[in-house]
Structure 1
């Protein structure tokens, strides 16, 4: 294993000579010096070795595979002549793919090498057409979309990928996750085994068995702890703070308000959490530019939000792990996570440029297993009173619009589901999570019914709001009209069910009357039974008339839902 503390002048000079004058001409215009990871990994690739590279965020990993990739293709004139795909770069998100393309393009224009992206948000047919038209030398793709295209046109895609000489896996530790394994096997089955492969990440796969799927052969390992020419994560400070579960939202906002001139990136566990807290923070952080991105945003929206955040001096970005890896926004002052990431190794990526708030058990776990030390930080201006005032404000926000009320419930459900899937169940056991406190941090009016909360014995500690949630209306007239129609339809169905039950009851009584009143026997017991049945029938008829009048009132909407419950 090559430990890159400092790369000597000879190694750097040799690497420059290997790249050639045309690549260096473009490089020298935009970059000052090579970083250690660029020299080490680039040299290995140009010497026909596979590489496994672990290097911190901000160390220049993108150029560490782009530079040798360009030189390899430049030395393969048949790739350009036949307009074939010579290299594939796989990256887990469309933002990272676009960022990689932006780095490649100036070099590609100089060397007459074309580059294209294949990511989600595009039509599969459009992607297939690109393969049919050929003319692509470097393909940058998300594994999920490339897998879809292969499934759609496997014969065509396999033929187009036969010319691949180099495969690069960016953020390689993500590709060991279950959702990527099938995708990777299908992709690897379509490209030549005789190729060079590079795995790059801020953290790396933990076991040698994890490397087998990539088909590496005698790979050179490069581990760069700190780059001398970059702002390495080892120069950063990482923090945590301890607070009551119900005070998490309040202490987060108080911390942000303390630092009016700082730029914040906030991580939440799910798309629904981002949607909800965006609506809340819009009304609580009115003096700060606020941005939000998550996996279900459109390409154009995500690009606009990231650009706006990048251009702002004190903006606040709310995000899922879409922003966790490699997004090139270098002037973020603070990165804060609302809860633990799904995988402990993701902490390194999320904290790539700054720090975060966390719990003390997790801080010891990260210190031992991820080699990340956290210091405790206090938020002295925060009080329990401020927390309760914020909760009441959040409740008022929800009452003002049913859409926000429902967003809060969905966000809480997604948060619990995400927490239950954490990779460290010893530290992050769902049974140990303060559910009621977290529900108050979300300012819920009701606890939702969830499979994950079945058999919990502490849920009675949650104080249900006295507000009648069924009376909270949508601010959007169209949504409220639609809700009214749905409620009316439900009422009518209830009326029909009640009427059917009443009809069935009357028919049953009539059958009884015929059975007891139709015989020839003497007066005796039958007469007495008939009298009792007549009296009961008279009483039932009165009840039936009352029920019919009630049902008519319900159908005309003259009774509220609460009155209906009391009557029924």
Structure 2
């Protein structure tokens, strides 16, 4: 018998209750397996994801994304993270750190039965937009069979669009700046149920100047949470890592220091992948582009990633090589590109089989490009950690790869020593001179023809010198050893541009330092502030009381006048202007200082308002001048001298003479006006007659055509007499008893109608 609606509802409720009980039982079994896990015993026994204590939904997503076998870092990290412990992990580049924190994050939300009403429960912070997009794509693949929601928030996107939807997200992936902005401004972002914080590339986030943003993020999150830090390198500056409020973290990879900072080592680098072949060459600065061009021409069937130290170098190399057409697809990527352009470039390079990407260190962290054959470092890396991240873009997940670093003779010894200290020893590669092809003439021709390209080359030159100047390790980066003129010629420039570097070493640190701390550090023994030279620091109040009658003798006027005091001040001050060879010289003025107003005397508000009014500012010397043929200036309106006026006669006689003269002139003008009016009337009459003649000719032609074509049914013949144009039937229709008259449309119609009526 079919069940009633009531029975169906009861059956549905029982079915849902059984499903919930079954789900609860599965989660309890997973909890027991997680509690019973012993890393010392069970780590080697687990090799596949299906052996982990995770749900079927996550396993299904991993299998569909082709993730079956676990890597070493995943074996060590995922079981510990599933226990809910804080951890700090260091692993090789391309070892699978992404799944090491995504899988535990998903499982924690499932076990806690997270829904869209719980607000933000997990946060994944990454240093760059490209890495955030890549992590988000992996999350959507492996978490597609779960019910929670996830969002991507990065710079370059519409903030208002994100703000309206962020309140419904359980997992947020993004960059520190945008996440911090949402925590400050998005009202609907609820963090009371927050559970997991993941900071990938932790050292990079701190190096890029995101300390304030990370502090703000941690300040918004509850203390009772799980925190996971992942990176290919891990600095032992425990003050920066302990400030993330880790609770008894587990160290995986790297050193085994505790968060109390009892020991201190500088850097613990992960080992380079065994499948990576490392090489370096010794090359002068002015031959780098020639070698790079020759290398690309000899590896057209390869996938190449080229690193530069600045975005201007990337732009110049891309634009010039693109016009020279090496025979391979060229791409560029740097931080100041638009977000859509950056994502398109990453997608193109990832999908391409043979291409060359010119990029800055924005690509050096975390991004996974499949099957990169060569990583070329045209500019020396900042340190050993940067070297590891750069070469880590290839030889990922057991694949083979190659790296080549171009080192200047002044950089070779220092950089190799830094790498050797971290157990990294690249092999020396010798490039034969016959394999090198010089492109310097082509670059010179391009810069000569295109001023924009020449300007870009000059900016690339300056940006490279600035990147060398700001480096901390002066044993490697020696700016005095660089061949300036040769490097400029290698870029196709006619000469070396002038370099103006502001700030110098430590400028970034000084900019971010607290002003109060700087003031305390600069205080001398007498309690007075002092600058770097030991002189007393002049405050704004000191400068205010040192001012002198600015409305009368300002410093600008003193400089123009060329006084002795102004000259001594100009000698003491540093002037970076390139146009200081031109100076304005004026003659000294004899100023009577006794006649100047006393500015120390109090002024009433009424007088002050009157002096500053617009009306008063327009009075005085505001006169207009005109110049005669000799170039002499005269006022726009001049009054005649009284003696000259009387010499011409009495005022009455001059008046009568002026009136009579003007009367004659007006009569002559009236005659000319009358003649002009007559001519216009004649022309108008002539045009009207011409128009009437044309209308008569057209009406005669129409009547002739009608007489030839019209057939009369009554057999009557038409009147042989041609009617006049005003007798057209269009205007008058006459019957036996009724005279029908159409409404006139023009003046001519009205005249013809009047004449017709008079004849009737």
Please classify the TM superposition score into its range, dividing by the shorter chain length. 0.7 to 0.9
**Cα contact 1:58–1:232 (8 A) shared by 2:** no
* Higher RCO (Cα < 8 Å, 6 or more apart): 1
| Aligned equivalent of 2:153 | 118
Q: How does 1:447-486 map to 2 (within 5 A)?
A: 447-452=496-501
Aligned partner of 1:279 among 319, 341, 348? 319
| Aligned equivalent of 2:405 | 357
**Cα contact 2:332–2:359 (8 A) shared by 1:** yes
Deviation (angstroms), 1:336: 0.6
| Aligned equivalent of 1:377 | 429
Residues 116-144 of structure 1 deviation map (CA, whole Å, 9 limit, x = unaligned)? 1111101332332233xx21111001012
Q: How does 1:339-350 map to 2 (within 5 A)?
A: 339-350=379-390
Q: Secondary structure at the match of 1:240?
A: strand
Q: How does 1:157-168 map to 2 (within 5 A)?
A: 160-168=190-198
Q: How does 1:144-155 map to 2 (within 5 A)?
A: 144-153=177-186
Mean Cα displacement is larger for which, 400-409 or 117-126? 117-126
After superposition, the Cα gap between the structure-2 partners of 1:219 and 1:423, relative to the gap in structure 1 and judged at 3 Å, is farther
TM-score, normalized by length of structure 2? 0.55
**Cα contact 1:367–1:373 (8 A) shared by 2:** yes
In 2, the alpha carbon distance for the partners of 1:434 and 1:7 equals 59
1:61 and 2:91 correspond: no
Aligned partner of 1:330 among 349, 364, 370? 370
Deviation (angstroms), 1:245: 1.5
After superposition, the Cα gap between the structure-2 partners of 1:235 and 1:59, relative to the gap in structure 1 and judged at 3 Å, is same
After superposition, the Cα gap between the structure-2 partners of 1:185 and 1:451, relative to the gap in structure 1 and judged at 3 Å, is same
| Aligned equivalent of 1:403 | 452
| Aligned equivalent of 1:442 | 491
Q: Secondary structure at the match of 2:151?
A: strand
Moved over 6 A (4+): 4-7
In 1, the alpha carbon distance for the partners of 2:418 and 2:278 equals 11
Residues 86-142 of structure 1 deviation map (CA, whole Å, 9 limit, x = unaligned)? 1100111111111101111123320112111111101332332233xx211110010
**Cα contact 2:201–2:365 (8 A) shared by 1:** yes
**Cα contact 1:344–1:424 (8 A) shared by 2:** no
| Aligned equivalent of 2:162 | 127
| Aligned equivalent of 1:517 | none
Residues 53-96 of structure 1 deviation map (CA, whole Å, 9 limit, x = unaligned)? 1111211110110011100011111x315142111001111111
Q: Which runs of 5+ in 2 are unaligned?
A: 1-38, 256-270, 395-401, 505-578, 590-629, 631-760
Residues 147-200 of structure 1 deviation map (CA, whole Å, 9 limit, x = unaligned)? 2334445xx37x523322111111112122261111111111011111111111
After superposition, the Cα gap between the structure-2 partners of 1:398 and 1:6, relative to the gap in structure 1 and judged at 3 Å, is farther
| Aligned equivalent of 1:33 | 69
In 2, the alpha carbon distance for the partners of 1:432 and 1:5 equals 54
In 2, the alpha carbon distance for the partners of 1:210 and 1:316 equals 37
In 2, the alpha carbon distance for the partners of 1:416 and 1:296 equals 20
In 2, the alpha carbon distance for the partners of 1:13 and 1:70 equals 18
In 2, the alpha carbon distance for the partners of 1:145 and 1:403 equals 34
| Aligned equivalent of 1:244 | 284
In 2, the alpha carbon distance for the partners of 1:283 and 1:274 equals 14
Aligned partner of 2:232 among 184, 202, 211? 202
In 2, the alpha carbon distance for the partners of 1:167 and 1:369 equals 33
Structure (1 or 2) with the larger CA radius of gyration: 2
Aligned partner of 2:169 among 129, 132, 136? 136
**Cα contact 2:43–2:76 (8 A) shared by 1:** no
| Aligned equivalent of 1:490 | none
Deviation (angstroms), 1:305: 1.8
In 2, the alpha carbon distance for the partners of 1:138 and 1:36 equals 26
1:191 and 2:215 correspond: no
1:430 and 2:479 correspond: yes
Aligned partner of 2:204 among 154, 158, 174? 174
Aligned positions, number: 448
Q: Which runs of 5+ in 1 are unaligned?
A: 226-230, 456-493, 509-544, 546-568
**Cα contact 1:124–1:148 (8 A) shared by 2:** no
Q: Secondary structure at the match of 1:238?
A: strand
| Aligned equivalent of 1:258 | 298
Mean Cα displacement is larger for which, 419-428 or 97-106? 419-428
After superposition, the Cα gap between the structure-2 partners of 1:283 and 1:67, relative to the gap in structure 1 and judged at 3 Å, is same
In 2, the alpha carbon distance for the partners of 1:296 and 1:262 equals 27
After superposition, the Cα gap between the structure-2 partners of 1:382 and 1:93, relative to the gap in structure 1 and judged at 3 Å, is farther
| Aligned equivalent of 1:92 | 127
Deviation (angstroms), 1:5: 13
**Cα contact 2:58–2:143 (8 A) shared by 1:** no
In 1, the alpha carbon distance for the partners of 2:224 and 2:482 equals 50
